[in-house]
């Protein structure tokens, strides 16, 4: 679908571009580099105003406005300062997203008001690839609409059928996205494609895109933000040595994560106020009791605010493993270090302190430990 960047979970994701309207009224300064054009024919839009806007992380920046001719034609001429995302918009329900660079002479044809379903673009490799990406993900987006409608109608049967179809479809879509990125990793269209991959399972693709764009999009804010995220994620990627943590235990004595080397260690990020964490605790307790004597330890890191609440939850849930916290809530030093976006979050370390798995819960955690301890 048409897109903009927002920060959510790991990395930078693309979402439907409705939140950023043209109401900011910000006008882009004229660039000093090569002139580009975006022109074409939109049947059914004769006499309408069409707007060209540049996407930024926080707003839409107005470039120009023209009136569509009697034959449906329009043309914008402007000077981009590097590759970036642009929106061609008639209104909030009728727009298209392009990736334009210096010197691009981009042409588009479409039919109003079904722009997204009818448009075709040429003259810009990045925009052609973005259209290809949209075609890959469109079936999933269509099922999303079916799922949403079923939920609104409270039609459980239709919801379950569509959800199962979507789950099966996602495997194929992910494979197609990986192939899409492999063709031209050093493109903003590949950066956009990353939204469809799991950052933990597909982290090499994130690195591939960031490395491929180096020197091509260094001034692009979306690339800069993704690069920063990837650099941070490298610290906690599977196969990396886990960053050390050294925080107070309930008795005030510091306990370093690195002091537990020689065992398999599960770092369990949780908090007394976190309902899903508390509901998961019985499962974590079960695997701890099962594997502790075989060389398994848990290093519980709480994002609590008060010591009383933290200690009360430990006692109430019978959590007998190691516990630490700086009692700073989301301002805890562990949050940026481990890119903690939500809890519960688990990170499994091998005896050398390297990360071997992330976000294991329930049956997946037990299955991994059974594999580790060769049961």
DSSP 287-301: HHHHHGGGTEEEEEE
Using alpha carbons, select from 89, 96, 91, 98 the residue that is nearest to residue 37: 98
d(CA 99, CA 92): 19
Total count of domains within the chain:
3
Judge if 290 and 224 occupy the same domain.
no
Domain that includes residue 209, residue range: 132-234
Higher pLDDT, 169 or 298: 298
Is 240 part of a structural domain of the chain?
A: no
In this structure, of 3-7, 47-51, 170-174, 219-223, the range with the lowest mean pLDDT score is 3-7
DSSP 3-state of 111: strand
We report the CATH number of the domain holding residue 60 as 2.60.40.1120
Judge if 117 and 136 occupy the same domain.
no
Judge if 325 and 348 occupy the same domain.
yes
Judge if 264 and 338 occupy the same domain.
yes
Judge if 223 and 252 occupy the same domain.
no
Indicate the residue among 234, 267, 286 that finishes a domain.
234
We report the CATH number of the domain holding residue 272 as 3.40.30.10
Q: How confident is the model over 213-249, as pLDDT tens digits?
A: 999 999 999 999 999 989 888 888 888 999 999 999 9
CB atoms within 10 A of CB 143: 18
Q: Are strands 94-100 and 60-67 parallel, antiparallel or unpaired?
A: unpaired
pLDDT of amino acid 310: 98
Rg (alpha carbons) of the chain, rounded to whole number:
25
Higher pLDDT, 28 or 149: 149
Judge if 323 and 367 occupy the same domain.
yes
Q: Which residues contact 95 (CB under 8 A, 6 or more apart)?
A: 2, 17, 87, 88, 89, 115
Indicate the residue among 187, 206, 234 that finishes a domain.
234
Judge if 16 and 101 occupy the same domain.
yes
**Res 70 pLDDT > 90:** yes
Is 362 part of a structural domain of the chain?
A: yes
Indicate the residue among 121, 147, 182 that finishes a domain.
121
d(CA 99, CA 369): 45
Is 239 part of a structural domain of the chain?
A: no
**Res 16 pLDDT > 50:** no
Instruction: Indicate yes or no: pTM above 0.75.
Output: no
Judge if 277 and 335 occupy the same domain.
yes
Is 31 part of a structural domain of the chain?
A: yes
Is 126 part of a structural domain of the chain?
A: no
Judge if 294 and 351 occupy the same domain.
yes
DSSP 3-state of 123: coil
pLDDT of amino acid 375: 57
Is 308 part of a structural domain of the chain?
A: yes
Q: What long-range pairs does 218-223 form, CB within 8 A, spacing at least 24?
A: 219/81, 219/82, 220/82, 220/83, 220/84, 220/188, 221/56, 221/57, 222/5, 222/12, 222/57, 222/84, 222/85, 222/188, 222/191, 223/188, 223/191
Judge if 48 and 138 occupy the same domain.
no
Matching residue, tokens 């300062």: 81
Q: How confident is the model over 154-194, as pLDDT tens digits?
A: 888 887 887 788 778 888 899 999 999 999 999 999 999 99
């Amino acid at each position: 679908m048409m897109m903009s960047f927002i920060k959510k979970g790991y990395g930078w994701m693309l979402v439907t571009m409705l939140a950023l309207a043209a109401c900011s009224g910000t006008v882009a300064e004229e660039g000093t580099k090569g002139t580009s054009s975006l022109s074409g024919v939109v049947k059914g839009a004769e006499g309408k105003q069409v707007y060209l806007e540049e996407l930024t992380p926080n707003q839409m920046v107005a470039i120009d406005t023209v009136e569509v001719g009697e034959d449906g034609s329009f043309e914008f001429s402007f000077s981009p300062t590097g590759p970036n995302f642009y929106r061609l918009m008639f209104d909030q329900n009728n727009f298209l997203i392009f990736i334009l660079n210096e010197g691009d002479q981009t042409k588009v044809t479409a039919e109003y008001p079904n722009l997204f379903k009818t448009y075709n673009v040429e003259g810009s490799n990045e925009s052609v690839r973005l259209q290809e990406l949209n075609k890959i993900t469109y079936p999933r987006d269509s099922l999303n609409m079916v799922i949403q409608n079923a939920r609104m109608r409270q039609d459980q049967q239709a919801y379950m059928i569509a959800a199962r179809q979507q789950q099966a479809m996602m495997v194929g879509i992910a494979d197609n996205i990986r192939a899409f990125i492999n063709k031209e990793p050093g493109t903003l269209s590949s950066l956009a494609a990353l939204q469809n991959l799991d950052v933990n399972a597909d982290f090499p693709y994130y690195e591939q895109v960031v490395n491929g764009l180096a020197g091509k999009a260094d001034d692009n804010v979306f690339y800069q933000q993704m690069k920063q995220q990837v650099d941070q994620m490298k610290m906690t990627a599977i196969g990396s040595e886990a960053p050390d943590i050294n925080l107070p235990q309930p008795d005030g004595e510091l306990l370093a994560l690195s002091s537990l080397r020689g065992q398999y260690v599960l770092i369990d990020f949780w908090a007394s106020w976190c309902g899903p964490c508390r509901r998961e605790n019985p499962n974590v307790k079960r695997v701890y009791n099962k594997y502790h004597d075989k060389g398994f330890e848990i290093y519980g890191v709480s994002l609590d605010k008060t010591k009383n609440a933290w200690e009360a939850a430990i006692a109430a849930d019978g959590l007998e493993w190691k516990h630490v916290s700086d009692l700073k809530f989301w301002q805890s030093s562990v949050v940026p270090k481990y890119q903690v976006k939500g809890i519960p979050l688990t990170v499994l370390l091998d005896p050398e302190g390297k990360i071997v798995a992330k976000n294991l819960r329930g049956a997946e955690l037990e299955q991994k430990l059974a594999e580790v301890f060769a049961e």
